[in-house]
Structure 1
Amino acid sequence: MKLNLNIQPLSSWITAVNEPFLIAGPCSAETEEQLVATAHLLKNTGKVTALRAGIWKPRTRPGEFEGIGSIGLEWLKRAKAETGLPTAVEVATAKHVEEALAAGVDILWVGARSTANPFTVQEIADALKGVDVPVLIKNPVNPDISLWIGAIERINNAGITKLAAIHRGFSSYEKSAFRNEPMWDIAIHLKTLAPHLPIICDPSHITGNRDLIGYISQKALDLDMQGLIIESHIDPSVAWTDAKQQVTPAALAELIDRLILRKPEGGDAVVKDKLSELRGTIDKIDDLLIQKIAERMKIAEQIGIHKRDNDITILQVNRWDEILQKAISYGKALQLSEEFTEKFLELVHSESIRRQTAIMNKDLAAGQQAEKLTHA
């Protein structure tokens, strides 16, 4: 079911929007000189739509730098006055909202830790009632799309129509090349539920590594995300927070120049006709695939009946291992990844188990009902 959101297009937020829409600036505002100097360098690239800076920094543990605080808003005002760049900051409380708006901040965003707490989001939403300001909602720390949607709806219900989501990846116990796993499928699911909601990617927090920012940025644009928010510092080597994921303004400009901007649909009639033809072929294959899965489930139900009649357990571990290993080997030969083949078969197997269990339970329920009637 599609989300019922009242939102305005990204182009209505700010008069001058670069392609891609790019918010950039230091992870933390550290000193007035650092922030203003970085702002000028970003402005000179001609690539940046808005200037970001962390004013209040929610840290995992006490004792770490938790932001310069409200004084940083005055520095942002100066940076905006000198460069003309709109400004953006994270807010985590009603007081943050009030102070940011009083300082003329143009864009607010709700961080991942805040999104995970409906009480916090509602407090922010209440502080935003009657205000016309763009608000960006980062995904929660954990991969929970309901929390993400709930935060978006709460802010929208407060009357905020200039609204976008920020995809910044999700925490995972598994070690990988990324600070936060992209889990693109969750962002794609959100896009499916809310096609008109702009989604902006945060490659800095996904990667935690400046060397991977370009790769993730391109991937995001290829998935039709509407913009990027990237951390940029005049000298990342001395940054007070998240030094490894920040880039210099010059490096940022080079990175943006290397990105390829693609359109959601080809404009040329020949391109559209070819795309339509290929999609038609996929639709036919999908129809056949669903049909074959349905046929497989019918056979699984027959197996369930046979197991029930012969007192055989539903789960046969050796048989499942045999199916899985054979399919993975076959899939590799057909250039399918092991991960895809395994996940696909797990879904199919889970549905087979569910159907066979239903058959067993139905038989048990029928027996219990007959026993009740006998003793009535």
Structure 2
Amino acid sequence: MRKQVLNEWGLKADPLFLAAGPCSAESEEQVLETAKALAEAGVSFLRAGIWKPRTRPGSFEGVGPEGLVWLERARAETGLKIGTEVAEPAHVEACLEHRLDVLWIGARTTTNPFSVQAIADALKGTDIPVFVKNPMSADVALWMGAVERLANAGLTRLGAIHRGVSSSLEMRYRNAPAWKMPIELMRCMPDLPMICDPSHICGKAGLIPAIAQEAMDLLFDGLMIEVHPNPPEALSDAAQQLTPKQFSELIDGLQLPHEKSESSSFIHRMSALRDGVDELDSQMLELLGRRMDVVREMGALKREQNISTLQLDRWTEILQDRVTRGELLNLSEPFVQQLMQSIHEEAIRQQEKDRIGL
């Protein structure tokens, strides 16, 4: 079990791995106040940003190495382990000098393999636990590659943090949850501990409990949550930080589901339902195969008349119609759009394959 791996690292994860603390270390008083409030909450380590990669200059970009001294004092006074984000070798060197217990690589850094490799090189010869946040885009291979670079440098205590992905679409969250990313990484790297950062997914404190519970339902090993003694006064990401009291209430309200059941009636009924899903999937694939047969006939007709593969008006008509039909079947618009876009992409591939003679 991945939770057992975290326990073996000395980062308690039974029943849940919890990293909590302010988005940014702002003052010694703020760090100590937060640490003392969290000391009895069962957190695995105190998190606080020391260097903040901001989108535009002029905003608060962290206090720098001075904040590491504050974290050390918080550890000495509360017994909490301490961790922060690193983005370059100089950050790694400073954190090792101050004996931090945990490091993580942020989403902006994960996006750049050169930066990840430089951090991996700086960490050679150590075996500090390092977590890797997913990249800004929905690129599982890039996320996996960052983990592999660290592993190739000799690091063995590695984990992943899911914090959602950037999106140009209007939505209720700051970053799209994109659950398929961590699920795929868990499939490819089943022994890699996976924790969720609902603060950065949500962007608003009120949305965090629901996303945190969803992560538990998807077998995440724990949570990283931003906690500030006075969120409205925070120097960065004020809207997404919880108070210590709100954090405790969230954790107390979480339900931790089991992956399996010993109930014979449950097992029997679930087996029958899964058989039904398998049969429906088989029918669905057969229908898609037949659809592509029709698509190839359409492609041949287009070639005879030198008509373009893409028929934009027809595609717009199809997409609008299928979204409407999907709503009547209780299927969400984003799901139907994604499904139809994938089908359309394959239809174009099939027609173009015949057009160029592959």
Q: TM-score, normalised by structure 2?
A: 0.92
1:42 equivalent among 28, 33, 38: 38
For 1:122 and 1:310, the matched residues in 2 are separated by: 53
For 1:86 and 1:31, the matched residues in 2 are separated by: 18
* Contact 1:207–1:245 (CA under 8 A) maintained in structure 2: yes
Letter in 1 for 2:182: A
Q: 1:241 to 1:315 in 2, by over 3 A?
A: closer
- After TM superposition, give the deviation of residue 210 of structure 1 in Å: 0.8
For 2:166 and 2:312, the matched residues in 1 are separated by: 31
Tell me the percent identity.
48
For 2:167 and 2:320, the matched residues in 1 are separated by: 26
For 2:195 and 2:320, the matched residues in 1 are separated by: 39
* Contact 1:94–1:123 (CA under 8 A) maintained in structure 2: yes
For 1:316 and 1:235, the matched residues in 2 are separated by: 55
- After TM superposition, give the deviation of residue 22 of structure 1 in Å: 0.6
1:138 equivalent among 133, 137, 142: 133
- Of 326-335 and 249-258, deviating more is 326-335
- After TM superposition, give the deviation of residue 42 of structure 1 in Å: 0.5
* Contact 1:8–1:161 (CA under 8 A) maintained in structure 2: no
* Contact 2:131–2:161 (CA under 8 A) maintained in structure 1: yes
* SS of residue matched to 2:356: helix
- Of 330-339 and 82-91, deviating more is 330-339
Question: Are 1:19 and 2:12 counterparts?
Answer: no
In the alignment, which residue of structure 1 is the partner of 2:239?
244
- The one-character-per-residue Cα deviations of 1:64-102 (angstroms, maximum 9, x if unpaired) are 222222222222122112211111111122222122122
For 1:15 and 1:59, the matched residues in 2 are separated by: 29
In the alignment, which residue of structure 1 is the partner of 2:49?
54
For 1:175 and 1:331, the matched residues in 2 are separated by: 20
In the alignment, which residue of structure 1 is the partner of 2:265?
270
* Contact 1:8–1:162 (CA under 8 A) maintained in structure 2: no
Question: Are 1:231 and 2:218 counterparts?
Answer: no
- Of 305-314 and 14-23, deviating more is 305-314
**Root mean square deviation of aligned Cα:** 2.2
- After TM superposition, give the deviation of residue 319 of structure 1 in Å: 4.2
Q: TM-score, normalised by structure 1?
A: 0.88
Larger radius of gyration: 1
* Contact 2:11–2:17 (CA under 8 A) maintained in structure 1: no
Q: Name structure 1 gaps, 5 residues minimum.
A: 1-6, 366-376
In the alignment, which residue of structure 2 is the partner of 1:106?
101
Q: Name structure 2 gaps, 5 residues minimum.
A: none
Q: 1:103 to 1:324 in 2, by over 3 A?
A: closer
Q: 1:83 to 1:126 in 2, by over 3 A?
A: same
2:356 equivalent among 336, 357, 361: 361
Q: 1:312 to 1:255 in 2, by over 3 A?
A: same
- The one-character-per-residue Cα deviations of 1:91-150 (angstroms, maximum 9, x if unpaired) are 122222122122221110011121122121111101111211110001122333332222
- After TM superposition, give the deviation of residue 308 of structure 1 in Å: 3.4
* SS of residue matched to 2:173: coil
Letter in 1 for 2:54: R
- Of 190-199 and 227-236, deviating more is 190-199
- Of 217-226 and 7-16, deviating more is 7-16
For 1:183 and 1:15, the matched residues in 2 are separated by: 27
* Contact 1:142–1:170 (CA under 8 A) maintained in structure 2: yes
Letter in 2 for 1:147: L
Aligned positions of 1:296-375 closer than 5 A: 296-309=291-304, 311-362=306-357
For 2:104 and 2:11, the matched residues in 1 are separated by: 19
- After TM superposition, give the deviation of residue 219 of structure 1 in Å: 1.5
For 1:169 and 1:26, the matched residues in 2 are separated by: 19
Question: Are 1:203 and 2:202 counterparts?
Answer: no
Question: Are 1:281 and 2:255 counterparts?
Answer: no
